[in-house]
Chains A and B, each alone.
Chain A
Amino acid sequence: MTDFLNLILEPLQEVFAKFRTFMPNLLAMLVILSMGILAARVLRAVLVRFLMAIKFDSWSDRMGVTTLLRKGDLWAKPSLALGAIFFWSLIILVLMTGLSALKVHAIDQLVEQFFLYLPRVFSAVLILIIGYVFAGFVSRAVLIAAVNSGYHYAKLLAEALRLLLTILILAMVLEQLQVAPGIVLAAFSIVFGGIVIALAISFGVAGIDAAKRMIERETAEKHAKDTKDDIEHL
């Protein structure tokens, strides 16, 4: 009978012992989470106040950041949006730190992977920001140049260029984030390569006559120049 009771009690004691070991970790996680959430809220409030003090919203309006948010149907103030992004980034960090306090092997591995992935996220965000500004700049420059040259489809050209650059940048971002890199690379190569080949063929075929005229005109000009020289010598 004692053996039978031991059979039941031993696992229970083992579970209780494990729970007793685990309890401080769980408490530590809860403390980290609650303190972290509080700290994140305070830091968000400080950041938003700071951004408002330096007139970040007006700067964003002028620089086109607000337009970008609105295009994505986000209607919060840029400072509040940035505050929210900052807050949720902190919450993720706090959550990861809290989970690591549990000292569970599987979770530790997950946390490690997360922190190893962070640099990729940062560089992807950087590529996205720089890429967006660059695409806007190039598109604007092409629009101005094309309008000044009297090109009828200036806006279309500028928008097409912006679209191509956006595809390129998004492909770079996905590649950096290691989101199905093989598929992204293949899809990008096919789409971009296809567009470039289509442009090359259309330009080549449509431009045969123009190229012929240019060559003929150049030859004729050279010929006329040579003839002119001859007459002057005479």
Chain B
Amino acid sequence: MSDFYQTGIITTLHKLGTPSLERLEAEIREFSKKRPVALVLPALYSEFEGPAMQGIVRKLAKVNYLKEIVLVLDKASEKDFHRVREFMSPIATEVKIVHNDGKRITEIYETLARNGLDVGQRGKGRSAWLAYGYVLARGQSDVIALHDCDIVNYSRELLARLCYPVANPNLNYVFCKGFYSRVTNKMYGRVTRLLVTPLIRSMQQLIGQHGFLMFLDSFRYPLSGEFCMVTDLARVNRIPWDWGLEVGSLAEVYRNFSPRRVCQVDIAETYEHKHQPLSADDAGKGLMKMTIDICKSIFRTLASEGVVFSEGLFKSLSVSYLRTAEDAIMKYEADAAINGLEFDRHSEAQAVEAFTRAISQASQVFMENPMGTPLIPNWNRVTSAIPGILEMLKKAADEDNK
């Protein structure tokens, strides 16, 4: 059971009481007549071999308000692609699978590359971006919802609550982010708990109140991968292709829309998906890579907002962050104690130490190259460079799905 406190400068939609799923879905079905909803699923083929996807497909088969489902399938052979088509067949909603490694989509990427449009490396960011392009090309939906494909405890309620704020024309939100707690017998979500929030608060201490920092701090789970937005946003937003995807996307939302039109919604009591290893000694993988990308994304966004960074500031930031994160560990220890959760204080402290090193590395990279931004150009720019690209993308995906 959640409280009803409004956090920061965006709207927080709590889960109060036991709202009826049938009512929610019936209302969205009505809204979707005027604002059709597309669901985007960025997935790896390996996720179809795990337990999560079966549950997701079972639940999606019962959802009747979606106009279309666009699944971007990555790291899959031609045979895998056909298996996934078969796998998705119980869903009554029109499902389109964009085969990222297919011959036609590969040619789309080559077309973009030869016209000087860098869409980065494969990953969730690039897959989501491609799916947005396909939704825009089809022109059938006004709202796009996106969630990961590794959610073990997926429910129809999660999707309905995610879609509702943007699908409802009376609420008039353009972007909605999902939040939840990641708790089983212990607390997860280390990067959010021990890096993002302490980092934002330390930066607020050092550079004062800043709109973007206030905006980021307003989100209860800024790194959650579940969100819903109007289709226009998919046209104007640039998307990072690295681990800075979530923070970078929020930066683009902040840049293009007023916080009054942004909300976050409680979508699940708890959320269970795969956990990344810390990889404290290797900055090129695991949570360390994620941490460095997130920090770079925050630094670059702030720099673009006019914040001046110096070596002195970064040194103070490391110290300030360490203190704030250590304080956070104490708070979470108390939280775990009252709820009877396991809490390994030592490993939490090790994570904080690793994150401190990651902040230093990110600041070094930023100082060396403050311009190097891993953002995929927005679809407005892409269509301006290659006017027929959306038609090509639609043709490619449609032919693959025949």
A-to-B contact residues, CB < 8 Å: 55, 57-58, 61-62, 64, 66-67, 70-71, 73, 75, 77
Contacts and interface: CB of A to CB of B under 8 A. Distances in A.
Chain B contact surface mostly? helix
B164 to A, nearest CB: 30
Interface in B102-136: 103-104, 107, 110-111, 114-115
Contact of A66 (B103, B104, B388, B399): B388
Contacts of A61: 111, 114-115, 386, 388-389
Contacts of B391: 67, 70-71
B-side interface size class: 10 to 19
Interface string B258-269: 000000000000
Nearest to B112: A61
A66 B111 contact: yes
19 contacts: A55-B114, A57-B111, A57-B114, A58-B115, A61-B111, A61-B115, A61-B386, A62-B387, A64-B387, A64-B388, A66-B111, A67-B387, A67-B388, A67-B391, A70-B388, A71-B395, A73-B399, A75-B103, A75-B104
Given A67-B388, A67-B391, A67-B392, 20 more contacts: A57-B111, A58-B114, A58-B115, A61-B111, A61-B114, A61-B115, A61-B386, A61-B388, A62-B115, A62-B385, A62-B387, A66-B111, A70-B388, A70-B392, A71-B391, A71-B395, A75-B104, A75-B107, A77-B107, A77-B110
A88 to B, nearest CB: 21
Nearest to B394: A70
B396 interface: yes
Nearest 7 A/B pairs, CB to CB = A67-B388, A70-B392, A61-B386, A75-B107, A70-B395, A64-B388, A58-B115
Contacts of A71: 391, 395
Contacts of B389: 61
Nearest to B107: A75
Given A75-B103, A75-B107, A62 B386 contact: yes
Contacts of A67: 387-388, 391-392
B319 to A, nearest CB: 50
Interface of B: 103-104, 107, 110-111, 114-115, 385-389, 391-392, 395-396, 399
Contacts of B388: 61, 64, 66-67, 70
A193 to B, nearest CB: 32
Contacts of B392: 66-67, 70
Nearest to B387: A64
A57 B116 CA distance: 12
A66 B385 CA distance: 13
B386 to A, nearest CB: 5
Contact of B395 (A62, A64, A73, A77): A73
A64 B391 CA distance: 10
A66 B387 CA distance: 10
Nearest to A55: B114
A71 B394 CA distance: 10
Contacts of B114: 55, 57-58, 61
A50 B31 CA distance: 55
B400 to A, nearest CB: 11
Contacts of A57: 111, 114
Nearest to A61: B386
Contacts of B110: 77
Nearest to B116: A58
Contacts of A70: 388, 391-392, 395-396
A66 B112 CA distance: 12
Contacts of B386: 61-62, 66
Contacts of B395: 70-71, 73
A57 B110 CA distance: 10
A104 to B, nearest CB: 44
Nearest to A69: B392
Contacts of B387: 62, 64, 67
A57 B114 CA distance: 8
Nearest to A52: B114
Nearest to B103: A75
